Structures are given as structure tokens and as C-alpha cells.
Amino acid sequence: MNHPLLSDAEIIAAWQANAAPWTKAVRNGDIESRRLITDRAVVDAIVSRMPNLVLDVGCGEGWLARALSSRGISVIGIDVVPGLIERAQQAGGGEFRVAAYEELATGTLDVLVDLVVCNFSLIGKESVDGMIAAVKSMLHPRGTLVVQTLHPLIACGDQPYVDGWRAGSWAGFSKDFVRPAPWYFRTMENWTRLFTANGWHLEELREPIHPRTRKPASIVFIARML
């Protein structure tokens, strides 16, 4: 059995507890890897597919919607944390709704988009597995899925390279953060399987390089329905 603090439910609870400091950190540009590399990496990946309408799954306080809308791309953002959706709505740049990933599978969202993006928002287990399967029903034929996440080989650290729950940390963040969210580690093999087993063709895999470490700062999967 999983520890109760290592679960999809705990991820949501942790983010609910950190909506305010997270919004501040993102809007102040406090997170160096985002400011230097990964924000641009996800925007570039999306823009390369020239979508008109994007669904941002796990949109948080909405920075990506604002970045895309400034480039003429319409965005619908969903997040399960009301405190983040409220802040996104206040800042504008898209249409924002409170929704759990599980609701994507039930069709209650009723949207049809050109591209679905998940930017560092696939950190759980069952909810992610279900989302990758369900999201197809929200995409136009030939639509694209863009996922940016921690690079497995880098994020693995000294631990064994096997799928499993890992404890979170707010090391490097301000003292306002509490209750770090756990995350579910996936190997490259199993990320790839998650896509291909659900009928996706992996068109591109990008590894944005951190200018200081000269190693990947993240991994970006760009997939299309087969």
C-alpha cells in the first residue's frame, strides 16, 4: 500500500495549501530553471504546431495562457485548485475552469482543441494515466499533445531508476511554502509506453539544456494521434 502522503490526493492537497506563494513565485520569476529555460521551451513547442486553441491542463495561476494569448493563441485552462484558477481568472489571458483530471474522461468539459499542453502538471499516478487516455476525445484529428516534465535521468538522482512515488521538497523556495507535494517518478521507458500504449505517436522529444549544468533542464514530449 502507498503511504497516504504519497498519493494523487496528497498532491492536490499540497497545491491547495501553496496557491498563494506559488503564484507569487511564478509571477516574480523566482524559479530560475523556468525563467532561463523551461518557460520558453514549452512555448516554443506549442508555437511550433501553430494551434488556434489550446487546452492547458494543470494551468496553475495561468502564466502560460497569458504567454500564448499574447501570441494570438486562445487558451482554455483547467486546474483542480480553486485558489489558482481564481488568480488565473483575475489576471486574464484565457478561459479558466476548476476541474479535476478525472473530469476530462467524463466529457463534462465539452471542448475540442488543436493542442493539449501539460506543463510540469503530470506529477501524479492514476490521474495521469487516465488523463493521457482521456484527452484524445478533446483533440481535433491530428491534434497534438505537449508534455513538459522533469527529465527522468536527471530527476532520478542517486535513487534506483524505477517508477515510484517520491517525497517532494520546497528546497530553494521561500519560507512561505508548506507541505511539499509528492510526485510519481516515471522512467523514459514508461513515459514512452504511457504515450504509445494510448495510441500516440511520439513525433519529437526535446531536451532543453540548462546553460550552466549543460544537462537537460527538462524533457518535452510532442505526440500526435496515430
Query: Between residues 55 and 194, which has the closer beta carbon with respect to a second copy?
Result: 194
Give least dist CB 221 to a second copy, A.
10
Please give the Cα distance from 148 to 42 (Å, whole number). Answer: 7
Q: Secondary structure of the chain: what % helix, strand, coil (to 5)?
A: 40, 25, 40
**Considering only residues 36, 100, 111, 209, which one is a binding residue for a second copy as defined by CB under 8 A?**
209
CB 142 within 8 A of CB 226: no
**Binding status of residue 193 toward a second copy by CB under 8 A:** yes
Counting every residue written for the chain, the total comes to 226
**Binding status of residue 204 toward a second copy by CB under 8 A:** yes
Give, as ranges, the residues between 121 and 180 that touch a second copy (CB under 8 A).
151, 153-154, 156, 159-162
Applying CB under 8 A, which part among 25-33, 126-134, 176-184, 188-196 lies near a second copy?
A: 188-196
CB 222 within 8 A of CB 191: no
**Binding status of residue 47 toward a second copy by CB under 8 A:** no
Angle between helical axes of 82-91 and 8-17 (0-180°, round to 10): 50
Applying CB under 8 A, which part among 61-69, 92-100, 130-138, 201-209 lies near a second copy?
A: 201-209
**Binding status of residue 225 toward a second copy by CB under 8 A:** no
Query: Between residues 100 and 156, which has the closer beta carbon with respect to a second copy?
Result: 156
107 CB contacts (<8 Å, ≥6 apart)? 137
- Which residue in the block uniquely carries the three cell numbers 512555448? 43
| Identity at 85, one-letter amino acid code | I
Beta bridge partners of 116: 55, 145
| Identity at 197, one-letter amino acid code | A
**Binding status of residue 71 toward a second copy by CB under 8 A:** no
**Considering only residues 34, 194, 206, 218, which one is a binding residue for a second copy as defined by CB under 8 A?**
206
What are the cell numbers at 46? Answer: 506549442
**Other Cβ atoms within 10 Å of 100 Cβ, number:** 16
Query: Between residues 44 and 189, which has the closer beta carbon with respect to a second copy?
Result: 189
- Which residue in the block uniquely carries the three cell numbers 497516504? 4
Applying CB under 8 A, which part among 67-75, 105-113, 125-133, 204-212 lies near a second copy?
A: 204-212
**Considering only residues 188, 194, 198, 199, which one is a binding residue for a second copy as defined by CB under 8 A?**
188
Please give the Cα distance from 174 to 126 (Å, whole number). Answer: 30
**Binding status of residue 219 toward a second copy by CB under 8 A:** yes
| Residues that bind a second copy in the complex, under the rule CB under 8 A | 151, 153-154, 156, 159-162, 187-189, 192-193, 196, 201-207, 209, 214-216, 219, 226
